[in-house]
Structure 1
Amino acid sequence: MSHGIWSLSFAVVLAALLFALAFRSYTLSWETTILDPDFFVRAVQMLGWAPAQLGFPVPDADTVRSAARDAAGQRTWALWLTGCIVVYGLLPRLALVLLSAMVWHRRRAALQPDWNAPYYSKLKARFAVLAPPTIVDADPGRAPGVAPGGLAPSQLSDMLFVVGFELPADAPWPPEGLHADAATEIQRIDGSAPARRALLDRLAQARPRSVLLICHAASSPDRGTERFLRDLLAHCGACRLWLTDAARDTADAGAPQRWIEWLQGTGLPRVTAVHKREDALQGQGTQP
């Protein structure tokens, strides 16, 4: 990480230097009081050897000794300075980044702890004897709500409503054996608020004698399902809940039990839960 940050810093500095040299005029020269001019010639040639291998120019002896600063000479000085920064600043850091990456790649397997070492064995033993958490304020549950009242028999029409509620997209619809006619209306809703309101408005107009609500047995009932059932029971006579599986039209033996226990806890005794096709179509079910 350190070499990577330094490489990025050198790249930023190099970009700023090139931008400055491109749009500003600078005069580069050597100044000394006691050193011989040949010292600078040798220093420039030694420092410029490595950049020259990459194509950067090196000022000759006349350019170094010359007091006149022409444009061509200044351009050579600028490129020589840029090459020194690249060769002696940026490239070593990039090489160290690659070296560090190679070392890390070879040694990262050793970063995995040896769980059989005595230290880790001691830690595992200490964790194993820790007491499990104790729930001191367990949820006492929710008191069953008041069962909604239905319509009187004289207010009901001789109709059957079949409603698919929040079924999976691949569930066959309508289920085999159900056909819409004058006495049977089949609908499927996605559970959204507008779809629920539209269905409840239709039930309030039709007041069917029976409603067959088809739900996916593998799904989990929630408070939204409870509210929908309570609103639905206010507009019909009887309600059956057919718990089906999207693939087989019959639920696993243990899947409906969660719904049955949920119906018991929510206080909806008027809802009959069934999970077999013949029970759903014939109106024979098991009371929860």
Structure 2
Amino acid sequence: MTQPQPKSSPLTELCSALPSLPMRLREVGRFVAANDYDATTRSMRELAAVAGADPASFTRLAQALGYSGWDELRAALTEARRPVQPSPFSGRTKGRRHGPNADVTLVADKLEAEAAGLARISASSVATAAKALHAAQRIWIAGFRSCRGVAELLNYQLRLFRPEAVQLVGGSGPEDLDLGAFRAGDAVIVIGFAPYSTASVLSARAAHRSGAALIAIADTIAAPMAEGADHLLLFEAAASPGFFPSLTGAIAVAQSLAAVTFALGGAGAKRRLKETEARLAAMSQYVAEKG
């Protein structure tokens, strides 16, 4: 029995169709093929302005490829960029060692891998990104699903000395309401690793469209939420053994960002930190130590 052939990607369809397209549509098609990320994140009018084309030409291009319009082609391009990972966690359990000391060996191997991963984090990249945080009018932090804890930790530490300027995306309601509030002059931190949450990718794209400085804390340069980032801070997630990827590096990056941003804040940051500490003490937030 003949096996069905997998459907080709929309980009492959586009490139194959280019020679047969009219000259103007061919130019628009080449622009889309060379800027497929922008094609999935920017409006048709924005794309047309950059390409120097009529917005309607994008609709005609989509129809020439067999789509009902630009929105359908754009949706196909977006879907084609989505990674396919049916079993991202259970697939990591293959090849696990067995025996009387297997558990101890797993812990030792994991600790060794975590230490090696931390050593490969770029200190200079983190320091440069912290300068962008220091200069930002507002700081937004986006972390979802397993990355939510990292986002909340960074949010807490930054708010100790910049309480008025830091906000967790989706912290007070649906995250899509916050995405529309991103502005140029803001900094947006997005945290993620494979398999990437849809919300993290949407947050990164919203930051890119708004003109805010995008800081991606990611496991690879190919991460979809890292595309177009002004600062990419890499951590190792998959190198550590165990059924679940490691967040140790992401936590280390987050805490380093907070530490350097505080240092850059100088006397003002120290004053606000002391004010926060005094308020927490007055509210008896910590257990008093017995003398």
TM-score by length of 1: 0.32
User: Which structure is higher in helix share?
Assistant: 2
User: Normalising by the residue count of structure 2, what TM-score does the alignment of the two structures yield?
Assistant: 0.32
Instruction: Decide which structure has the larger Cα Rg and report it.
Output: 1
